[in-house]
Amino acid sequence: MNQTIPPRSTAYYALALVAGTNLVSLLDRNILAILAPAIKADLKIGDAEMGLLYGTVFALFYALFSLPLGRLADGWIRTKLLAITISFWSLATGGAAFATGFFTLMLSRLCVGIGEAASQPAGTSLTYDYFPREKRGMVMAVMAAAIAIGLGGSLIIGGVAAQWWDARYAAGTAPLGLKGWQFAFAVAATPGFLIAFLMSRLAEPPRGAMDGIPTPPDPHPFRASLSVLCAVTPGFHWLSLAHARASGRDWLRNIASLALIVIVMLLAIRWAEAFSPRPPLMLGGVAISPHVVQWSVIGFGAFVIINLMQNLKGRDPVAFALITRNPSLLLCIAAGSLQGVINYGVMGFTPSFLMKSYGLSPADTGMQFGLLSAALGVAGPLLAGPLSDRIGAHRLSRRVWVALFAMSLSPLIALWVYRAGDASSFYLRFTLYSLVLTMWMPPLYAVLFEQVLPRMRGLTVSLYIVVSTIFGLGIGPYAVGMISDARGGDLGGAILSINWVAPPLVLLLLILLWRVERDHAGLIPRARAAGERL
């Protein structure tokens, strides 16, 4: 393999394409937020059910498939993988234009989740092979900015497209009988195909050369990826355990973990049905409680994580040791997951809050809130990323300070924001809130990815995605929706309630400050002790 480091111009072009991938990913994922009132009215569902569509259903398949696709990103051509998966999720987004009920819209969302599962592991791994360590805070800032633009763009495109379509065509006169929200999905699907085409023509960089750790090609990446999928999928994972001739202790741990998860899941279902009773959903002709769907998905995801770690221990004991014996890495994953509960809960329902509380139209909400959140979402990471590079290039603890500032202050500002008396006051307050809120991602991600070897970055991203998606995206929007339904549609109070995860989050970051330098300094010695040849 040619180990020549790519030229600077190619590196920035690659970064632009990966950023574009993140942009269209969030565009297709978050457009549901602005379309929620219209979808709720058309499909006769509540906020909890919208939380299922926005978070839980998407989260399950996004988390599950991020594992095999993350493994594939560690062994196959990342540019081709991204081109294929971007095309797939764009088709799935377009398919939502033809959804006529909760079940068909759910199918579209889960397919979007499958496709988008490759974007972060493959994209992050790709850019880290284009940029040196001292530039990676900037890289993550650009990624975060692209995510913010995608979030804001989804509101603008969704709100404007849906309102324009409904205004242009009276009921029953639209082509193919499409409603405005269905047309908006078709519009959102379009830019992904261009990004996919450009990505397919990007050259693959040498893996690990930027870190001085050249990595040989994987001879069987697809076989390894399929093996990971079977090993973590409940049911199939028992075949993997049998094939690996797992010990009786391993079988006992696996079954005991499953039993514990089922007990917790049943208790959660019982509590949720008492706290916020909801009418059943029709899924493929079967009536089922939305709370059963929610906590079954969370339980399934938790068991996937158990299976992943058990499989990793047998398949790659070095990676298992470096992940499970590194407190800083685990703290980063936990902190990011708790922050995900807040971020996804807030962004999933703020557009609905604006329309309901201040009487704004979908187009006005999309243009005003979309532009503001996109601009601030770019400014925050672009401020935090270079700042953390400047002060933390040689001391990771200084990067943690930047994340701690953003993650501890933003929940306090939220208490002020969501009690604004009018839309103008809300936007003014939200400006400060969003600027601070969006500063956490670049420094925390930069710390996270410095805790493993280059060959393990795709796996690490996948592990982070699984945990943060199941417990962040999978719980945040659902919790806000459930609380809103229980309180008679009080979205403002429901959004504020989700910020109670902030105190344990701050505690985790304080522990990270104490551990991070020691854990990073021991990375190479631990890898060698575990058997890695460096």
pLDDT in tens, 383-442: 877 777 777 667 788 888 988 999 999 999 999 999 999 999 999 999 999 888 888 888
Query: Using CA atoms, how far apart are residues 216 and 1, in angstroms rounded to an integer?
Result: 8
Query: Using CA atoms, how far apart are residues 106 and 58, in angstroms rounded to an integer?
Result: 8
User: What is the pTM for the complete model shown?
Assistant: 0.81
Tokens representing 338 are 């708790």
Cβ(52)–Cβ(288) under 8 Å? no
CA 341, 90, 186, 285 torsion-angle sign = negative
The residue type at 372: L
| Structure confidence at residue 6 (pLDDT) | 67
| Structure confidence at residue 2 (pLDDT) | 45
Q: 122-131, 249-258, 516-525: which has the highest mean pLDDT?
A: 249-258
- The residue ranges of every structural domain in the chain are 8-203+219-530
Of residues 95 and 46, the one with the higher pLDDT is 95
pLDDT digits (tens, 9 = 90+) for 398-415: 888 988 999 999 999 999
At 164 the three-state DSSP class reads helix
Average pLDDT of the chain to the nearest whole number: 87
Could you tell me which residues are beta bridge partners of residue 281?
A: 288
Cβ(62)–Cβ(465) under 8 Å? yes
Query: Which of 431, 28, 339 lies closest to 193 in space, CA to CA?
Result: 28
Cβ(472)–Cβ(131) under 8 Å? no
Tell me the average pLDDT across 272-298.
86
Query: Using CA atoms, how far apart are residues 18 and 202, in angstroms rounded to an integer?
Result: 11
Query: Using CA atoms, how far apart are residues 407 and 272, in angstroms rounded to an integer?
Result: 28
Tell me the average pLDDT across 499-519.
91
Q: 80-89, 213-222, 446-455: which has the highest mean pLDDT?
A: 80-89
Cβ(31)–Cβ(184) under 8 Å? yes
At 459 the three-state DSSP class reads helix
Query: Using CA atoms, how far apart are residues 500 and 345, in angstroms rounded to an integer?
Result: 12
Cβ(236)–Cβ(160) under 8 Å? no
DSSP secondary structure letters along 318-368 = HHHHHHHT-HHHHHHHHHHHHHHHHHHHHHHHHHHHHHHHH---HHHHHHH
What confidence category does residue 15 fall into, taking pLDDT thresholds of 50, 70 and 90? very high
| HEC-encoded secondary structure of 78-126 | HHHHHHHHHHHHHHHHHHHHHCCCHHHHHHHHHHHHHHHCCHHHHHHHH
pLDDT digits (tens, 9 = 90+) for 166-222: 888 876 677 878 899 999 999 999 999 999 999 999 988 887 777 767 677 778 889
pLDDT digits (tens, 9 = 90+) for 296-330: 989 999 998 998 888 888 878 888 888 888 889 99
| Structure confidence at residue 458 (pLDDT) | 66
CATH, range 8-203+219-530: 1.20.1250.20
Could you tell me which residues are beta bridge partners of residue 288?
A: 281
Percentage of residues in the chain having pLDDT higher than 70? 96
Tell me the average pLDDT across 479-503.
90
Query: Using CA atoms, how far apart are residues 184 and 162, in angstroms rounded to an integer?
Result: 5
Query: Which of 74, 139, 68 lies closest to 445 in space, CA to CA?
Result: 139
Q: How many angstroms from the chain centroid is the CA of residue 119?
A: 10
| HEC-encoded secondary structure of 484-501 | HHHCCCCHHHHHHHHHHH
Query: Using CA atoms, how far apart are residues 377 and 147, in angstroms rounded to an integer?
Result: 8
Tokens representing 530 are 């575990």
Q: What angle do CA 357, 51, 430 make, to 5 degrees?
A: 40
| Structure confidence at residue 340 (pLDDT) | 92
Residue 78 pLDDT > 60? yes
| Structure confidence at residue 519 (pLDDT) | 83
Residue 529 pLDDT > 90? no
| Structure confidence at residue 1 (pLDDT) | 41
The residue type at 278: R
Residue 534 pLDDT > 70? no
Q: Helices in 395-490 by DSSP H: which ranges?
A: 396-417, 423-437, 441-449, 457-468, 476-486
Tell me the average pLDDT across 81-104.
92
Rg (alpha carbons) of the chain, rounded to whole number: 22
What letter would DSSP give residue 430?
H
Cβ(348)–Cβ(155) under 8 Å? no
What confidence category does residue 4 fall into, taking pLDDT thresholds of 50, 70 and 90? low
| Structure confidence at residue 393 (pLDDT) | 64
